Amino acid sequence: MMRVTIESPVPTLKSVQGVTVIKRSELFVTAGTEFANRKDIREAIEAGERGEVQPLPWGVWVQYPFIIGHTPKSTGEYTEYIRLFPPTQAQLQYFNLAPKVQFTANGAEVTREQAIEYCGAKAKANEEQAETFSVSAANVVSIT
């Protein structure tokens, strides 16, 4: 388990001009695990709660199972992503591993509600925890 700090710009609504919103997240994650070998994934497959693990839905492995390379249509620029795994529900239950999120607008700290006013749904908290996620390597501030 390691702490990762990620900073990424959050696109503002078209009606919002001259405001740059940045989301800074501090998360506890693991990396370098083969998705199909994770205990929670194996158990969910065995219990019939999910299907077998499929190939990557986008991109290609640059360094398996850490780095994914991809050229998004939205930017047309080759980007490398780090594949990360959030804590399991059991880990969250027994350890203080909850993520911390902070927003800034033009360098000044703002609440999530203010960020939502600037960015709409893109600043809302995710209701559902993903089994895995990928972060642009350029957005990783630190890993400790």
Task: Please state the domain count of the chain.
Answer: 1
Mean pLDDT of 86-93: 86
Nearest Cα residue to 87 out of 78, 79, 95: 95
Which residue range is the domain that position 114 belongs to?
Answer: 2-143
* 4-31 pLDDT tens trace: 999 999 999 999 999 999 999 999 999 8
* 64-89 pLDDT tens trace: 999 999 999 989 999 999 999 999 88
Residue 131 has pLDDT above 90, yes or no: no
